[in-house]
Amino acid sequence: MAYRAGKSKDKGKESYTIIFRHPVKKEPRGKYGLRVRRGLGTKEEEVADALVNQMNQILSDESWWDISKRELAYNKFSKNIVDAFYDLLENEEIDYTKLLEQCITMPKRKDGYSRASLIGPSGAGKTSLLRYLMGTQNDRFPTTSTGRTTTCDMEIIFDDDSNEFEIAVCFMSKALFMLYVEECIQNAISYCLDNDGNMDEEIVVDKLLTHKELTVRLSYVLGTSTILKEKEIKWEDEDDDEEECEELNAVSNKEFILMNEKINSYLKRIIDISAQVQNDLKTNSLGENIKEEREISTSSILEEFQDKNEEFHNLVDDILDEIQERFGLLNNGIVISETRGWINVWKYRTKDRNEFLRVARRFSSNNKAHWGTLLTPLVRSMRMKGPFKPECYDKSPKIVLIDGIGLGHKTTAGSISTDVTSRFNELDTIILVDNATSAMMDNSKAAIRTITDSGNGSKLAVCFTHMDLVKGDNLTNGRDKVKHVMSSLSSYISSLKEQDPPVIASNLENKILNNCFYFWNLQDKIKDSTKEQLDGLVQVIEKSKISQITPSDVSLKYDILMLYPRPPCLTPTYQLIV
């Protein structure tokens, strides 16, 4: 394949950029020829042409395609061109774990800390329970809603000795987020192709701004678009799920208008690209492998079109540029790691609790009043540390809580993500949160099975939420509700014990059933029944500490009277080899 570079001048910008396919680097989908766009730092067309010519010299000669030639290239080509080509040949693997540890050290068991993780189906109430444990339920942090609110891992370190709050945030790589953006654009174009002549522009925008897996919502970062209709439907209940008590400034009317214009411009470009696809289909210019539209899927058409169409890639680049500009909102804190303007890890610390919550919400909120200023979809993981404690506690318990993506986000109902199972051995307590209002879901059953199969059944604690919503003519009081909910769990565990061979032993069955907790009205002010259950859960977490034993902690002692001489027949012989 012949690689060639070209130049462009982005709308609204004076300087030229260079665009080329890198012959050594792969695209996110695994094909060689990663598309690269870099600023040339010049407004002069002649200068830009000369720089593009230099890049074409490198692209046409494979002898330059090695990182060892970088210093030699500086003697022959412009620094801008050399950096644009060779930067991508440097090892760009980011060790997020190491960087996160540099920001905030994770305490060990030998420090007296227990580590617990909350898992459970989306919408079961994990985040609501986490609020109570952190003592932030009145601050409505972290954010909750009807489902799929938590889209990254959150690690919370309870530190009573600290008078500061700290947060370290890891963001997705630009390459990974670019893949999500491409898929959102493809999804919008697919809708246009499937509904040619009868498409709803509002649906096109929704397809663009919401990824099909619902884990990435571009509207949080880019804002939303208002498309006026002749007839607006008035819904009976237009209240939000909840209003956050936060200090983030709502998006102003001026900002909203600018965001609205930008998104509507994306809409127009998507419609134009869709028209190009339709035209290419009619003229059969997408390639010999595409004969008739009815014989292939829309995704196949788009893949073929995407490789050849520069406007598609320009749209991806423009959206990514717009998203990258949102990092400018991080005007405080410290950038720990970045790659060409894209922040990888960022850290912030303050003694002001309210200020900490205000900053932290930018990475976890879904409040519509702040769409266009939130970085929530970009977050890969975050770690927080501070004097968190349940409202009814005088002192912070020495625990680390981990809250992650709900079960079922990325897997089927009968399987558990390896992201969840991989940390089981590092945990002291695994807290399964389930909604008490319905029979135990397949995801929760799969979690119990996986936990016990992996030898971690003794770490399991089960929390049932929404007990106040459990209704029935046969349920006259709280005790009846507890028995009713317990029977579902007990029945499933019994079925595991009765399998051949048994999946679970009787003593483990009793331990799990004794480690169950029940929560009423988590959305309200803490009550005695909730406090009692909360106390029991915290005690289980604290008592689950496992001593950290290393080889240096072990010393061997021998009883000389119990040592026997080696029999002659077992005495080894040695041969000297010269």
Tracing tokens 């953006």 back to the chain, one arrives at 181
- Name the domain count of the chain: 2
459 neighbors 512 (Cβ within 8 angstroms):
no
Report pLDDT for 440: 87
pLDDT tens string 240-274:
444 444 456 677 888 888 999 999 999 999 999 99
Looking at residue 486, its pLDDT comes to 92
Q: What are phi and psi of 345, to 5 degrees?
A: -140, 135
Domain end point (choices 299, 327, 355): 327
Q: Do 191 and 48 reside in the same domain of the chain? A: no
Element (H, E) at 136: none
Helix then strand count (H, E) for the chain reads 17, 13
More confident residue, 120 or 564: 120
Domain assignment present for 179: yes
Burial classification of residue 546, based on how many CB atoms lie within 10 Å of its CB (0-12 exposed, 13-18 middle, 19 or more buried): exposed
Q: For residue 185, what are the domain limits?
A: 174-229+244-327
C-alpha closest to that of 94 among 286, 342, 269 = 342
Cα(127)–Cα(119) distance, integer angstroms: 10
Q: Residues for the chain: how many in total?
A: 578
Of 206, 207, 184, 187, the closest CA to residue 320 belongs to 184
Of 233-237, 251-255, 340-344, 385-389, the poorest mean pLDDT is in 233-237
Query: And the tokens for 372?
Result: 């266009």
Same domain as 200, residue 82: no
Query: Which residue reads 């580590």 in tokens?
Result: 115
Looking at 89, 118, 141, which one is the last position of a domain? 89
The percent of residues in the chain predicted with pLDDT above 90, rounded, is: 50
Q: Is residue 425 part of a domain?
A: no
- Angle 79-86/45-60 helices, nearest 10 degrees? 40
Residue 230 has pLDDT above 70, yes or no: no
Rounded to the nearest angstrom, the gap between the alpha carbon of residue 364 and the centroid of all alpha carbons in its chain is 11
Residue 228: its pLDDT value, please? 38
Out of 8-12, 69-73, 239-243, least confident range: 239-243
User: How many Å apart are CA 454 and CA 425, to the nearest integer?
Assistant: 9
335: helix, coil or strand? strand
503 and 452 in contact (C-beta within 8 Å)? yes
Is 250 among the domain residues? yes
CA distance 284 to 287: 7
Query: Is the dihedral angle over the CA atoms 175, 179, 185, 189 positive or is it negative?
Result: positive
Q: What is the pLDDT of residue 240?
A: 46
Q: How many C-beta neighbours within 10 Å does residue 79 have? A: 10
pLDDT digits over 194-205, tens only? 887 788 999 999
What is the 3-state composition of the chain as percent helix, strand, coil, each rounded to the nearest 5?
A: 45, 15, 40
Average pLDDT, the chain: 84
pLDDT recorded at residue 279:
82
Within-domain flag for 479:
no
CA 133 and chain centroid, separation: 22
Residue 545: the pLDDT is 78
Tokens of 518: 């029940």
Q: Specify if 182 maps to a domain.
A: yes
Specify the DSSP class assigned to residue 249: P
pLDDT of residue 244: 47
The three-state secondary structure class of 304 is helix
> Which residues touch 75 (CB under 8 Å, ≥6 apart)?
none
Residue 210 has what DSSP assignment? B
The answer, yes or no, to whether residue 236 has pLDDT greater than 60, is no
SS (H, E, C) 518-529: ECCCCCCCCCHH
* Strand bridging mode 429-435 / 114-119: parallel
Q: Is the per-residue pLDDT at 436 higher than 80?
A: yes
Q: Which of 280-289, 303-312, 314-323, 524-533 has the highest mean pLDDT?
A: 314-323
CA distances for 480 relative to 132, 219, 528, angstroms = 25, 45, 18
Judgement on whether residues 81 and 183 belong to the same structural domain of the protein: no
Mean pLDDT is lowest, of 245-254, 271-280, 395-404, for 245-254
- The enclosing H or E element of 348 equals strand 342-350
Q: Binning pLDDT at 50, 70 and 90, where does residue 233 land?
A: very low
Q: What are phi and psi of 289, to 5 degrees?
A: -75, -10
185 and 79 both lie in a single domain: no
At 411-424, the pLDDT tens digits run: 455 567 787 888 88
In this structure, are residues 210 and 217 in contact, taking their beta carbons and an 8 Å threshold?
A: yes
CA-CA distance, 42 to 313, in Å (whole number)?
22
pLDDT single digits (tens) 487-535: 989 999 988 888 877 778 778 888 999 999 999 988 777 778 888 999 9
Cα separation, 340 vs 88, in Å, equals 11
Binning pLDDT at 50, 70 and 90, where does residue 556 land? confident
Higher-scoring residue by pLDDT: 28, 389? 389
DSSP string computed for 457-504: GGGEEEEEE-GGG---TT--SHHHHHHHHHHHHHHHHHHHHTSSS-SS
pLDDT of residue 567: 60
**Cβ contact 78:54 at 8 Å:** yes
Given a cut of 60, whether residue 289 has pLDDT beyond it is no
- Give the residue from 197, 192, 152 showing the smallest Cα distance to 302: 192
User: Contact at 8 Å (CB) between 270 and 185?
Assistant: yes
Residue 16 lies in a domain: yes
In a domain, 544, yes or no: no
Mapping DSSP to helix (H, G, I), strand (E, B) and coil, where does residue 22 land? strand
- Cis peptide bond upstream of 23, omega within 30: no
For position 166, what pLDDT does the model report? 97
Determine the residue type at 219: S
Query: What are the phi and psi torsion angles at 113 (to 5°)?
Result: -95, 145
Examine the fold and report which residue of 310, 327, 344 is the final residue of a domain before the chain moves on: 327
The answer to whether residue 225 is domain-embedded is yes
Please tell me whether residues 183 and 323 are part of one structural domain.
yes
DSSP state of 437: T
Whether residue 180 is found in the same domain as residue 323: yes
| Residues contacting 130, CB < 8 A, separation 6+ | 118, 142, 156, 401, 403
